Amino acid sequence: MTDQTENPTNEAAATATESRSPETGKEAPAANVNLTALITEVVKYLVDAPEEVKVEEFKEGRNNVVLELEVAQKDIGKVIGKQGRTIRSLRNLLDAAASKLNVRAQLELIEDDDDYEDDASGNAGSSEADDENRGNR
């Protein structure tokens, strides 16, 4: 007669068996992960203008997905973060979720320069100092 404390492998085996489907004995299928919705929801909590968050998904080949993230111009810095830490974390999160789907995913941040062109045409009387610092924004 053996005690459970003497044979810890039986307890681990029982725990592993519990996570399997009782009818077939096979592991349950992975949950369906929507990569676009995941990135959209996380980024909406980071920015000041969540209504302007747009994520588009493009398939490149059979196992590659590219997500293009577009946010308001004033929120670009919040998405990038200090030394790129926030965007790196978003990409790590995306990689982890994509691995459950057996795909490779890339996250690209789309910077829209149209806002700057609109400002330039509307400010005909701007000073020369503003023009010098324009490229540093």
The structural domains of the chain, with segments of one domain joined by +, span 29-111
Q: Give pTM, 2 decimals.
A: 0.61
Q: What is the pLDDT of residue 17?
A: 41
Higher pLDDT among residues 51 and 120, named by residue: 51
d(CA 90, CA 53): 14
Above 90 in pLDDT, residue 7? no
User: Each residue of 66-120: pLDDT tens digit?
Assistant: 999 999 999 999 999 999 999 999 999 999 999 999 999 999 999 876 655 555 5
Higher pLDDT among residues 39 and 111, named by residue: 39
User: Does the domain at residues 29-111 carry the CATH identifier 2.70.150.10?
Assistant: no
Phi and psi at 33, nearest 5°, equal -105, 125
Residue at token pair 């982890």 = 96
First to last CA, the chain: 76
